[in-house]
């Protein structure tokens, strides 16, 4: 220390050789807030045909890349396509997991009768993808089924393989596990004399454990982690991971995303089982797409909004437009929003939109209703406030002494951060809460400084109500 107010990092006080010595101090250079680019991680089953080894995290920029890395028609491939179709500029990482050794693949059938008495088309939908076969008069059921198998073989991006016997086409999920039971099959024919009967996919069992994949990316700092499965076991594993990496010691705040195409009752039951402030469950009732695809599209749309406090209402996703009977009405949407489930709706232009992004957290540890972490924006905002404060202190005080002069300096920097956050409408009422900003030395550790930082987060404008007075 050469003087009371000036210290040097590289010029020693003991220097006696005459000269003019200058060093550069960059600790004061940054006075802005940190960026909030969203890093997305997809955890998903892959196929043995993929070029990457399981549990290898890699950046992915297209569906074609995902197909090569994880196998054509794998769940990982489908999720990447759904995510990128929703938001093409994702900072996306994918880590593949192998099917469970004891897993079984789901299977379904398409039974075709004939012969055809007129020309027409036999169509099969696998999820949201349609496969068409042209039919000529007198074509037998066996010939039509064989042609359908060829058509399926020519679309390797499908999540199923096909085998044919007489007029029966057997479809088997490429990935093993219960998730394959969710592959939706539909069929129709316009050729007179032919019929189509579909037996739904069933028999899939034992999804792979995602815990090893999550363990491999603990230190990676992803902001959004997308789950391939909407089950209590998988999402509980994800919740545990999120609580760890987002905790005060690791400080890599992240949220988990899952998709739900089933009933409102089953979806709210799943949400209540999770009750996590970092888990959001998107509900697309009656969707023909897999929960994994719904989750990928929803997670990609969340990532597109870097402002953590800005609501996601009305943002669109690359999902299937469900039939009118499946679309939730107002009462169902309200029930979902009161029970930890994020409803999607079909908006103008036949687009699928987020109604309001909430978390699955509805009750505290005592079972009392708690809205503190209702909106997804709240936890995202808190994560960003923590990041801004942490980075400012790390920049300003990397090798600081702790003296009586230090707490006021730290408090000043934190106050500056809060003011800048207020300018961006991330938090508010900074001046009113100024007295609540406390920086003090620890009573037990002489090398520690403690702080209490008020963060009145900016809420979203979700509801407007007015009274119209009639005057005659």
**Domain extent listing, the chain:** 107-202
This prediction has a pTM of: 0.95
CA gap 441, 267 in Å, rounded: 48
Question: Contact 188/45 with Cβ under 8 angstroms?
Answer: no
Laid out side by side, the sheet with 185-189 consists of 129-135, 120-126, 185-189
Under 8 Å CB-to-CB from 294, ≥6 apart: which residues?
A: 82, 259, 260, 261, 282, 284, 287, 319
Query: Burial, 189: exposed, middle or buried (Cβ in 10 Å; 0-12, 13-18, 19+)?
Result: buried
CA gap 415, 384 in Å, rounded: 15
The CATH code for residues 107-202 is 2.60.40
Tens of pLDDT along the chain (472 residues) come to: 567 888 888 888 888 888 988 888 888 888 899 999 999 999 999 999 999 999 999 999 999 999 999 999 999 999 999 999 999 999 999 999 999 999 999 999 999 998 999 999 999 999 999 999 999 999 999 999 999 999 999 999 999 999 999 899 999 999 999 999 999 999 999 999 999 999 999 999 999 999 999 999 999 999 999 999 999 999 999 999 999 999 999 999 999 999 999 999 999 999 999 999 999 999 999 999 999 999 999 999 999 999 999 999 999 999 999 999 999 999 999 999 999 999 999 999 999 999 999 999 999 999 999 999 999 999 999 999 999 999 999 999 998 999 999 999 999 999 999 999 999 999 999 999 999 999 999 999 999 999 999 999 999 999 999 999 999 9
Residue 110 sits at the vertex; the CA angle it makes with 186 and 108, to the nearest 5 degrees, is 85
Closest CA to 330 of 356, 357, 310, 349: 356
């Amino acid at each position: 220390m050469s003087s009371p107010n000036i210290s040097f990092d590289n010029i020693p006080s003991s220097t006696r050789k005459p000269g003019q010595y200058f060093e550069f101090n960059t600790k004061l250079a940054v006075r802005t807030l940190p960026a909030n680019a969203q890093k997305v991680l997809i955890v998903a089953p892959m196929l043995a045909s993929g070029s990457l080894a399981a549990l290898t995290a890699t950046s992915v920029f297209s569906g074609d890349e995902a197909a090569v890395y994880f196998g054509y028609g794998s769940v990982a491939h489908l999720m990447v396509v759904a995510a990128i179709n929703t938001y093409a500029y994702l900072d996306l990482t994918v880590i593949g997991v192998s099917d469970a050794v004891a897993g079984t693949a789901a299977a379904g059938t398409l039974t075709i009768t004939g012969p055809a008495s007129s020309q027409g088309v036999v169509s099969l939908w696998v999820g949201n993808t349609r496969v068409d076969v042209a039919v000529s008069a007198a074509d037998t059921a066996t010939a039509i089924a064989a042609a359908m198998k060829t058509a399926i073989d020519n679309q390797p991006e499908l999540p199923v393989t096909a085998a044919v016997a007489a007029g029966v086409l057997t479809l088997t999920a490429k990935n093993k596990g219960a998730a394959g039971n969710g592959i939706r099959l539909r069929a129709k024919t316009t050729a007179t004399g032919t019929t189509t009967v579909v037996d739904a996919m069933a028999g899939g069992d034992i999804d792979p454990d995602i815990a090893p994949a999550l363990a491999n990316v603990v230190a990676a700092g992803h902001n959004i982690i997308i789950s391939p499965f909407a089950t209590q076991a998988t999402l509980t594993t994800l919740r545990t991971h999120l609580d760890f990496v987002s905790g005060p010691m690791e400080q890599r705040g992240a949220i988990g995303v899952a998709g739900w195409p089933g009933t409102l009752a089953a979806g709210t039951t799943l949400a209540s089982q999770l009750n996590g402030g970092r888990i959001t469950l998107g509900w697309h009732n009656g969707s023909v797409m897999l929960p994994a695809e719904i989750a990928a599209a929803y997670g990609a749309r969340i990532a597109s909004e870097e402002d953590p406090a800005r609501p996601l209402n009305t943002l669109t996703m690359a999902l299937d437009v469900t039939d009118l009977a499946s679309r939730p009405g107002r009462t169902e949407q309200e029930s979902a929003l009161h029970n930890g489930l994020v409803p999607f709706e079909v908006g103008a232009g036949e687009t699928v939109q987020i109604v309001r992004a909430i978390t699955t957290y509805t009750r505290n540890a005592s079972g009392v209703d708690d809205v503190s972490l209702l909106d997804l924006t709240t936890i995202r905002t808190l994560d960003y406030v923590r990041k801004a404060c942490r980075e400012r202190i790390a920049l300003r005080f990397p090798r600081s002494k702790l003296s009586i002069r230090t707490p006021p300096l730290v408090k000043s920097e934190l106050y500056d951060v809060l003011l800048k956050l207020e300018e961006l409408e991330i938090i508010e009422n900074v001046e009113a809460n100024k007295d609540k900003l406390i920086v003090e030395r620890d009573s037990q550790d002489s090398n520690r400084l403690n702080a209490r930082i008020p963060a009145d987060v900016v809420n979203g404008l979700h509801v407007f109500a007015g009274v119209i007075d009639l005057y005659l």
